[in-house]
Amino acid sequence: MFRNLISPSITKPLSAQKSVRSFSSASVLRQAAATNYQHILTETRGKVGLVTLNRPKALNALCNDLFVEVNEAMKNFDEDDNIGAIVLTGSEKAFAAGADIKEMKDNTFVDTYKKDFLGHWAKISDVKKPIIAAVNGYALGGGCELAMSCDIIYAGEKAVFGQPEINLGVIPGAGGTQRLVKAVGKSRAMEMVLSGGANLTADEAQSLGLVSKVVPADQLIDEAIKTAGKIASKSQASVQMGKELINKSFEVPLSAGLRWERAYFQALFGTADQKEGMNAFAEKRKPTFTNN
Ligand code: CAA
């Protein structure tokens, strides 16, 4: 993991990263391992992987290369046994202002169709570990869709959620017509998607259920890390099954979802963590999960 530390190419990205936030030396070292990234930063905080979109001049517009990097970072954290949950964030001004309009503006239908344009954005849904989106500032178009692809959304007080694609002569292409309606209801989703306005403030997003917590902007990442850390301290099989089943509830009929749930619940009795968790309760002590 640390093999890239000696690469001279890390000098500039590292100093740029330091200017974004202050890091512990351990986390800076870990970031240095991710020297190939041009548009994101990664670090670990305890058992939490943190991915920060870092294309400030374009308000974190989601160009193709940025998304490839996000997918790679997510995959790496997903495969890392020391990580139990992931936080995805942007800057104080923008989580992400959408797909990169300048990059895609000259695309043709044949290009987009043949190459399945944006198809790779769906890979984030393959991540088994929970992802918390920590959204400050603009989460517009693909930015709102990216946040909704995560499992939990926390928002800074000034976050803005919207689907303005209709203003560009298109529609949302990564979940805005599907996930949004489930989060905010049909009428508001129609308003947002069809008018290209009716953006949600953080408080509105929370009252509608899109967001589960609103905090001051400067506390957002810490708050998300705190929750992610709590999740990461649980038995990972239980956490990942819980995530999978909640997501399944969007796709299968209730009777099938309930059957899956019961089967997974029963399966967990085959784990050492179930024995530890229940024995700890009976013995009035805190459980120590080993992910076995
Ligand atoms: N793509 C490419 N570049 C973008 C961008 C985007 N989505 N959003 C912002 N930028 C760039 C701007 O072009 C500008 O670059 P320059 O300095 O080189 O001109 C820079 O970021 C700063 O932006 P603004 O000057 O516009 O900043 P602002 O504070 O005045 O406005 C904003 C902020 C309201 C978010 C405005 O930038 C905006 O409306 N952005 C576009 C939002 C949008 O339409 N998103 C949907 C994209 S389509 C999509 O996402 C499809 C899908 O479903 C996947």
pLDDT tens figures, 171-191: 999 999 999 999 999 999 999
Using the predicted structure, report yes or no on whether residue 199 has a pLDDT greater than 50. Answer: yes
Rounded to an integer, what distance in angstroms lies between the CA atom of residue 95 and that of residue 148? 12
Q: Which of 99, 134, 205, 237 is catalytic?
A: 99
Please, which residues have CB within 8 angstroms of residue 268's CB and are 6 or more apart in sequence?
A: 237, 238, 241, 274
Mean pLDDT of 136-158: 98
* Best residue among 101, 105, 117, 138 to mutate for probing ligand 1, ranked by most atoms within 8 Å of CB: 101
Is residue 224 part of the annotated active site? The answer reads no
Rounded to an integer, what distance in angstroms lies between the CA atom of residue 125 and that of residue 71? 10
Q: Cα–Cα–Cα angle for 77, 236, 53, nearest 5°?
A: 30
More confident call, 35 vs 267: 267
Nearest atom in ligand 1 to the alpha carbon of residue 140 is: 45
Task: Name all contacts of 110-115 with Cβ < 8 Å and 24+ positions apart.
Answer: none
Is residue 204 part of the annotated active site? The answer reads no
Is residue 90 part of the annotated active site? The answer reads no
Using the predicted structure, report yes or no on whether residue 4 has a pLDDT greater than 60. Answer: no
138 C-beta closer than 6 A to ligand 1: yes
Rounded to an integer, what distance in angstroms lies between the CA atom of residue 20 and that of residue 164? 28
User: Residue 3 to residues 18, 33, 36, 46: CA-CA distances in angstroms?
Assistant: 20, 7, 12, 21
Which of 22-26, 103-107, 113-117, 256-260 shows the lowest per-residue confidence on average (mean pLDDT)?
22-26
90 C-beta closer than 6 A to ligand 1: no
145 C-beta closer than 6 A to ligand 1: yes
Neighbour-count burial of 250, counting CB atoms closer than 10 A to its CB (0-12 exposed, 13-18 middle, 19+ buried):
exposed
Is residue 202 part of the annotated active site? The answer reads no
174 C-beta closer than 6 A to ligand 1: yes
Read off the pLDDT of residues 214-266 as tens digits, 9 standing for 90 and up: 999 999 999 999 999 999 999 999 999 999 999 999 999 999 999 999 999 99
